[in-house]
Chain A
Amino acid sequence: MNTLSPTTDHAITEAPWIKWSLIGLALSFLALFLVLPLAVVLYGAFEAGINVWWQAITDPDALAAIRLTLLVLIIVVPTNAIFGVAIAWAIAKFEFRGKTLLISIIDMPFAISPVVVGLIFVILFGAQGWFGPWLAAHDLKVIFAVPGIIIVIMFGTLPFVARELIPLMQQQGKDEEEASLTLGANGLKTFWYVTLPNIKWGLLYGVILCNARAMGEFGAVAVVSGRIRGETNTMPLHIEVLYNEYMFTAAFAVSSLLTGLALVTIVLKSMVEWKDERKHKTH
């Protein structure tokens, strides 16, 4: 390649001044849009000192919000992960009618406004809603209670694992699984020892995305939560409550916690991508 004339080499790269202007422009844009909001949250959280921050996040209501958010994650993320694996298996390994339709349906919850999601479930399960009287008669609570919050978050984060796994598993085909079966392994064993190792990074990636969106869901939860202090406030709602109580430092403190989790999320995500890339290269 060294024999290539310098003009060609020059022609497929930009002049240094263009290159550095482009880098500068891109980084300024990102600094303005990504770094400054991050800085504002962290500054607001720690402005009054670490003790105030600690007090804000160990306040009983804040702890209750953290607990509720964790509870939601423990239920929502595995459920959507199982769904993602199941639907990816069906779509990638088998041919059937309506497959394309099914694939496009999976994307839909992503495009629906969170507010509309909340509205739908109030119309269904609210006291004046279709199933409201039946639920009340059986002393079941969905809206303004934990189940309602879980359902709307599940709805909003439905596609993430499936979206990662379907193209991945389609690309991998089914030869390895068929080989394993012909060698006498049963279906579950095949899945466990053949499929899972192949999809683990994609699965993890989807789980990370699902987790991030689930902990931050706001619009839909705001509609169905009822905002009972210490009970049906998730972390994002608790932040809004604090903001409305003029407790800005506390609001930023809880925000910083979620921001920290978001940062952990993107670090994990980068690690998964990096591992995945290396694996592809060794193949």
Chain B
Amino acid sequence: MSILSRLQQATLALTFTSVSFIALAENTLLNVSYDPTREFYREYNQLFSQYWQKQGHEAPTVRQSHGGSGSQARSVIDGLEADVVTLALAYDVDALRQKADLIPENWQSRLPHNSSPYTSTIVLLVRKGNPKNIHDWNDLARKGVEVITPNPKTSGGARWNYLAAWGYALKQYGSEEKALEFVTQIYKNVPVLDSGARGATNTFVQRQIGDVFIAWENEAFLAVEQLGKGEFEIIVPSVSILAEPPVAIVDKNVDRKGTRKLAEAYLAQLYSDEAQHLAVKHFYRPANPTISNQYKDKFPQLTLFTIDDVFGGWNKAQQTHFNDGGYFDAILSKISK
């Protein structure tokens, strides 16, 4: 203990010389988000600023941080002072509670639609003309097809990808063993395992590696309509997963900084009509059913299963599939042989 306390004293001296000032205004929010929401939140922050000023407040400053969902959650747990988190999956948000007790247990029921103001699903992106004839999940397991998807251990989107494929196999082939075999086949076809969703999009779009890219629907639309017009096609699989990226206030942080009111309004406004339309503009499916109906033609209709239905919720899915010693580790070690 004496070493520790001496170490502590020493480090104190060090920090005193280089301490930062953190006069955080009550009018500033830090939104810690995942990769593919950059464009959406850039516009939403302006929308929210206008709304907040109309309510008779000063213009707020919203700061953004983006990265892989898991790594972003890790940063918040380690002390990145997020007022709100808008991550790729509920497990990463729940980690804030499990590892650092930053949010209460009922966080997901505090906002409508499981705290997910927008949803998405997982689709397949192929090159123009669909040269490899990809039509459904089973085509990804074929020999000679190169599949691009990020690493589910570090990327939230990749976990949705994996579970979507698993859900399909479970439905198609009926058993866990068969599903494991099927998903193993798919990962055998993966030449690059980026650590985040954005890295994977770059690999497929910019570096032109791979025949099919398992993507968030919104990322797929972005690629088709903006990154390479006419170069890609979206293939809608027969069945996929309903991806719900949840949002939450980080209670411990907002209470300490006095930003709760602002943070609550920030998240509540995500459900406003304007924000829901904006989500559609950035290719997310709106949570509001009325608005969702208006855009029926924009988003393909397909059978969507949820994580709760098929996998018994995120905690269970994480444990069975992605934790150390789970199915994904088994898949990796099988492929290496």
Which residues of A are at the interface with B, using a C-beta cutoff of 8 A? 75, 122, 124-132, 134-136, 139-147, 150-151, 226-231, 241, 243-246, 248
Q: Considering only CB atoms, which chain B residue lies closest to A226 in the complex? A: B80
Flag if B198 contacts A124 (CB, 8 Å): no
Q: Which residues of A sit under 8 angstroms from B100, Cβ to Cβ?
A: 127-128
Residues of B within 8 A of A129 (CB): 78
Given A127-B78, A246-B227, A151 contacting B66 (CB threshold 8 A): no
Alpha-carbon separation in the docked complex, A34 to B4 (Å): 47
Check A140–B80 contact: CB distance below 8 A: no
Complex Cα–Cα for A177 and B14 (A) = 33
Q: Of residues 210 to 228 in B, which have CB atoms within 8 Å of A's CB atoms?
A: 227
Q: Pick the contact of A136 from B30, B75, B79 — CB < 8 Å? A: B79
Complex: A131 Cα to B67 Cα, angstroms: 26
Flag if B63 contacts A244 (CB, 8 Å).
Answer: no
Q: Give complex CA distance A131, B12 in Å.
A: 9
Interface status of B50 (Cβ within 8 A of chain A)? no
Contact between chains at A229 and B79 (CB < 8 Å): no
Decide yes or no: A131 and B11 within 8 Å by CB, A228-B63, A229-B63, A246-B227 being known contacts: yes
Chain A residues touching B, majority SS: loop
CA distance in complex: A144, B99 (Å): 18
13 contacts between A and B (CB under 8 A): A124-B11, A127-B77, A139-B22, A141-B81, A143-B78, A143-B79, A144-B79, A226-B80, A227-B67, A228-B30, A228-B64, A245-B38, A246-B202
What is the CB-to-nearest-CB distance from B211 to chain A, in angstroms, rounded to a whole number? 21
Residues of A contacting B202 in the complex (Cβ-Cβ under 8 angstroms): 243-244, 246
Min distance, Cβ A236 to any Cβ of chain B, angstroms: 15
Instruction: Give Cα A200–Cα B19 distance, bound, in whole angstroms.
Output: 32
Among B19, B22, B66, B77, the one with the most A-chain Cβ atoms within 10 Å of its Cβ is: B19
CB contact under 8 A between A228 and B65, given known A140-B15, A147-B18, A244-B202: yes
CA gap between A226 and B66 in the complex, in Å: 9
Query: Is B258 in the interface zone, CB < 8 Å from A?
Result: no
Total B residues in contact with A, Cβ cutoff 8 Å: 36
Asked whether A141 and B66 contact (CB < 8 A) given A146-B20, A147-B19, A244-B199, the answer is no
Q: A243-B202, A244-B66 are in contact. List 11 more A-B contacts (CB 8 A).
A: A134-B8, A139-B22, A140-B15, A140-B19, A141-B81, A147-B18, A151-B14, A228-B64, A229-B64, A244-B202, A246-B201
CA distance A97 to B12 in the complex (A): 29
Closest 3 CB pairs of A and B: A127-B79, A126-B78, A244-B198
CB distance from B249 to the nearest CB of A (A): 17
**Contact between A128 and B78, CB atoms less than 8 A apart:** yes
The answer to whether the Cβ of B70 comes within 8 Å of any Cβ in the partner chain is no
Mark B residues whose CB is within 8 Å of A.
Answer: 4, 7-8, 11-12, 14-15, 18-20, 22, 30, 35, 38-39, 63-67, 75, 77-81, 99-100, 196, 198-199, 201-202, 205-206, 227
* Cα A124 to Cα B78 with chains together (Å): 10
Residue of A nearest to B68 (CB): A244
Pairwise interchain contact A145-B22, C-beta atoms closer than 8 A? yes
Residue of B nearest to A129 (CB): B78
A144 contacts B80, C-beta separation under 8 Å:
yes
Chain A residues lying within 8 Å of B30, measured Cβ to Cβ, are 228
By the criterion CB–CB under 8 Å, are B78 and A122 in contact?
Answer: yes
Nearest chain B residue, comparing its CB with the CB of A136: B79
Cα distance A130–B4 in the bound complex, in angstroms = 9
A147 to B18, CA, bound (A): 6
* CA gap between A122 and B38 in the complex, in Å: 26
**From residue B312, how far is it (CB to closest CB) to chain A in Å?**
28
The docked-state distance in angstroms from the alpha carbon of A238 to that of B195 is 18
CA distance A229 to B14 in the complex (A): 27
Measured between beta carbons, the chain B residues less than 8 angstroms from A127 are: 77-79, 100
* Contact pick for A144, options B7, B75, B199, CB 8 Å: B75
- Are A132's CB and B19's CB within 8 A? no
Q: How far is the CB of B181 from chain A (nearest CB, A)?
A: 34
Chain B CB within 10 A, most for which of A75, A127, A136, A245? A127
Bound together, the chains give a CA A80 to CA B15 distance in angstroms of 17
Q: How far is the CB of B201 from chain A (nearest CB, A)?
A: 8
- Contact B79 A151, beta carbon cutoff 8 Å: no
Chain B residue with the shortest CB-CB distance to A228: B65
Contact between A145 and B20, CB atoms less than 8 A apart: yes
Q: How far is the CB of B255 from chain A (nearest CB, A)?
A: 13
Give Cα A132 to B102, complex, Å: 14
Chain B's nearest CB lies how many Å from the CB of A126?
4
Inter-subunit contact B79/A132 (CB<8 Å): yes
Bound form: Cα–Cα A165–B294 in Å: 71
A134 to B8, CA, bound (A): 10
- Contact partner of A141 among B8, B35, B79, B227, CB < 8 A? B79
Residues on the A chain within 8 Å of B4, using CB: 130
> Could you tell me the distance between the alpha carbons of A244 and B206 in the complex, rounded to whole angstroms?
11
Q: Is the CB of B66 within 8 A of A144?
A: no
Given A131-B8, A244-B66, the answer on whether A141 and B22 have CB atoms closer than 8 Å is yes
